[in-house]
Amino acid sequence: MKIETDPKFDFNNVLIRPKRSVLTSRSEVTLERTFKFPHSSLTWTGVPILSANMDTTGTFGVYSALCQHKMVTCLHKFYNSKSFDTVYHFNKTNSETGEKIITDFIPNVSLDPNYFMISTGISEKDFENLVEISENVKFNWICIDVANGYMEKLVDFCKRVRTKFPDKIIVAGNVVSREMVEELILNGKVDVVKVGIGGGSACLTRKKTGVGMPQLSAVIECADAAHGVGGYIISDGGITCPGDMSKAFGGGADFVMVGGQFSGHDENPGEITEERGKQYKMFYGMSSEHAMNKHYGKMANYRSSEGRLIKVPYKGSLHNTVSDYLGGLRSTCTYINASCIKHMSKCTTFVLVSQQLNNPFNN
């Protein structure tokens, strides 16, 4: 046993110090980035924000909104080849209220391969499903996703996927420390490592296992490791507001993945429910008992639920939330004299705080 005594920080432990700036307007800030990757031959240009590959946020409906902003939707791993052949309808009507309910939709021909990821686990069945999808769907991104990215089996699976798909942009995770970032990029041959354990709003991993790392410190350490070997990272988890996203980019993240904050909208699947005059939609972790029952029929008796089922206040159009986050990023950049997202980490100085917000009205 050992104890690391240097402090680790989360987004709410810091603020970004402002600096003199030559920028006079948020409109001068460029949010798109162009990436070249260490193993893939592809290049990618877009806004480096991703929707998490969860049942309620990694969907065709969410893709339909985010692709308009040149952002990426990481589709959940329970889609198969047939899913891409189906046109889902979004004009279903609530029989009681008469309101339209948006569900999954988008025909295959409308999908831009730059703005969605195919997700997969690491079983033989997962590999077969990935290959089958590749025979019918054009895509550029693969996300190899497991809760515990420290398994040797993950590295072996990444190598196998790279051999089968040498040109794809491959993402893998989740991890929170330097050595596994380097291992996945150098030996697993992945391009981007997903960073974050236990920080998600629907995640109970820290409570059930005691395992995790404060997200900002994980981002800083893992970004340094990835950039040292020519790769990139995604900060996954812990985003509660636009300021947190700015802090993730300021800490060195190349991409930021969002789950709970991109839930609860028209574009997310599920019906709107009403309680005491307030409207809600459901959001849940993929290791929750709800997700296990939905996809596997039951929660295995050798594991516990590491996710929760949450009622998220109904938020209307996802475009409004996206605009709020992009506006916050642009504003951060004007405060620190960063003309683009790529320069944010070079222009960021964090200050430790005991209180981030003055919030007497609990809004």
The catalytic residues are 203
* Residue for token pair 């491959």: 170
In angstroms, the CA 284 to CA 303 distance is 17
User: Residue 104 carries which side chain, given as an amino acid letter?
Assistant: D
CB-CB contact of 341 with 33 (8 Å): yes
CB-CB contact of 240 with 300 (8 Å): no
CB neighbour burial string for 102-118, b if at least 16 within 10 angstroms, e if fewer? bbbbbeeeebeebbbbb
C-alpha to C-alpha distances, 256 to 27, 51, 239, 242, 251, nearest whole angstrom:
21, 9, 9, 11, 11
- DSSP of 253-307: -SEEEESGGG-SBTTSSS--EEETTEEEEEEE-TTBHHHHHHHHSS--TT----B
CB-CB contact of 19 with 349 (8 Å): yes
In angstroms, the CA 178 to CA 269 distance is 36
**Cβ neighbours around 346 below 10 Å, total:** 11
Q: Which of 163, 164, 104 is nearest to 130 (CA)?
A: 164
User: How does DSSP classify residue 73?
Assistant: E
User: How does DSSP classify residue 58?
Assistant: S
Instruction: Find residue 191's DSSP bridge partners.
Output: none
H-run or E-run covering 195: strand 192-195
Is 168 in a helix, a strand, or coil? coil
Which tokens hold the place of 263? 């839930």
